[in-house]
Amino acid sequence: MQIKTLVWREIFERKSQLATSFLAILLGITVIVSIKNITYYSEKAVAREMDSLGANVLVLPKSATLQDYYAADMQGDTIPEEYVTQLAISDLEGLDNLSPKLSMPVELQGRTFTLTGILPKSEFQAKAAWQGAGIFSRPMGCGAMPTLPFASGDKKTLVRQRVIENLDNDEALVGADVASALSLKEGDKLTLLGQSFGVTAVLPQTGTIDDSRIFAHLHRVQEISGKGPVINAIEIVGCCQEISKGLVQKINSLLPDAKVVTITQIADAQIKMNQLMSRLSLIFLVIIVFVGGAGIANDMYANVFERRREIGTLMALGANSFLILRIFMLKALLLGLVGGVCGYALGTFLALTLGPKLAGVPVLPMPMLALWAVLISVGLALAASYFPARRAAKLDPCATFQEI
C-alpha cells in the first residue's frame, strides 16, 4: 500500500465522476492548444502577407521626406553606406531585412527610368566581421520570409522581400514597365550609361514606382554615379512587435545623423492583426481557466463530500491532515497531467485538421505547446483542487461515526 495506490484505485472506482473533471480539462486544453497552434501559423501567414506590402521603416537623409522616397528616392542627399554596417552589427532586435538603395535617373530610348542599386543579402553574410554578431546571427523575429522554401535563389523575391540573396555586378533586374517599354526579356543585354548588363529577371507588375526601376548591384551603381560609398535610403522590414516597443527610436539613437520614419499604416496593420490574435487566445484562456477551474473545483468538492466517511476512517486509523491533503492533490496532479497530455494531442490533431480549412494556412505541430498545455492543466487542476482538498484535510473525523 502506498499513497499512489489509494489515489489510483479511487480514480478508477469513480470513473464517471472523474470523467466530468477530465473532460473539463481535456476540452479546455484542446481548445487552447488548437487556437494557439492555428493562431501561430495564421500570424506567420499574416506576417508574410504584410511583408508583401513592403518595408515599414525607412532610414533617409535628414533633408529627405517620405514623398521623396515615394518619388523613387531620387533626392539629391545621401547617407553613408557605412550606416548599413552599423545596423547590421548592432544588437537591435526586430530588424528582419535591410535593403540599402542608391537611385539615379537613366535615359533609355528617349525615356527616363530609375536605376537603383541594391545590395544582395549574400554580401552581408560574406563579411566575416559580421558573422557571429549582428542581426543575421539571430533568429528572424516576425518575418517568415528568410525561411520560405521558395525564396532562395529566386530573383523575383525582390518584389516581396526588398532583398535578394545574390546579384552579380553585371546583372540587372528590370521592372514590368521597363521591360514592356523596352521590350526586354530575361537573358537580353542592356546598356546603361555605357555599361553593359544582362537582364537576369523581369519583375512582376506591382503597381508601384518599382515597375519603372532597373535594379543593379549597389556598388556598380555607386561606381556609375561617381558618388562613392553612399546610399539614398535603407528600407527596413522591422518586426511589428519591436516597432511598437520603440525600434524606430533605437535606430534614431544609433544613427543620429539620419532620419528614421515609420510607414505607419503598414506597421499599424501588422501590430493590430497580431494584437487581435493574441487577445483572442487570451480570452479563450481566461474563459477556460474559469469554466474548467470551476468544474474541477465543483467535482472535487463533491468527491470530498462523498468520501467523508472514508476520510474520517483514515483519520481514525491515524492519518494526519497533511496526508489527506496530499491524497486529493495527487489526484489533481494526475488529472492535470493526463488532461494536459491528451488535450495537447487532441488540440494538435484538431489544429492540423481544421487549421487549413478554417484559417486557410498549413499548420504544423508545436512541441513547445505540450509543455504549456501540461503546465496550465496541472496548475489549473491543483489550484482548483486546493480548497476542496483543504476542506477534506480539516474534516471532523467524528463524521465517520455520526453518519452511520
Q: Which of 332, 328, 322 is nearest to 380 (CA)?
A: 332
Contacts to another protein from residues 368-397, by CB under 8 A: 397
- The residue (of 6 and 267) whose beta carbon lies closer to another protein is 6
In the complex, least distance from residue 403 CB atom to another protein, rounded to whole angstroms: 10
The answer to whether residue 150 forms part of the interface with another protein (CB under 8 A) is no
Contacts to another protein from residues 3-32, by CB under 8 A: 3, 5-6, 9-10, 12-13
In the complex, least distance from residue 319 CB atom to another protein, rounded to whole angstroms: 6
In the complex, least distance from residue 402 CB atom to another protein, rounded to whole angstroms: 8
- The residue (of 345 and 399) whose beta carbon lies closer to another protein is 399
The answer to whether residue 1 forms part of the interface with another protein (CB under 8 A) is yes
Q: How far apart are the first and last CA of the chain?
A: 26
Say how far apart CA 381 and CA 331 lie, in whole Å: 9
Q: 151 to each of 123, 143, 234, 263, 364, how far by Cα in Å?
A: 17, 13, 21, 24, 20
- The residue (of 283 and 316) whose beta carbon lies closer to another protein is 316
In the complex, least distance from residue 303 CB atom to another protein, rounded to whole angstroms: 13
Distance of CA 12 to the CA centre of its chain: 43
Q: Which of 148, 141, 146, 147 is nearest to 241 (CA)?
A: 141
The answer to whether residue 400 forms part of the interface with another protein (CB under 8 A) is yes
In the complex, least distance from residue 320 CB atom to another protein, rounded to whole angstroms: 4
* Strand partners of residue 174: 202, 214
The answer to whether residue 306 forms part of the interface with another protein (CB under 8 A) is no
| 326 and 319 Cβ atoms separated by less than 8 Å | no
Contacts to another protein from residues 307-326, by CB under 8 A: 309-310, 312-323
| 128 and 175 Cβ atoms separated by less than 8 Å | no
Say how far apart CA 314 and CA 380 lie, in whole Å: 27
In the complex, least distance from residue 397 CB atom to another protein, rounded to whole angstroms: 5
Instruction: Please give the residue ranges that form the binding site for another protein (CB under 8 A).
Output: 1-3, 5-6, 9-10, 12-13, 309-310, 312-323, 397-398, 400-402, 404
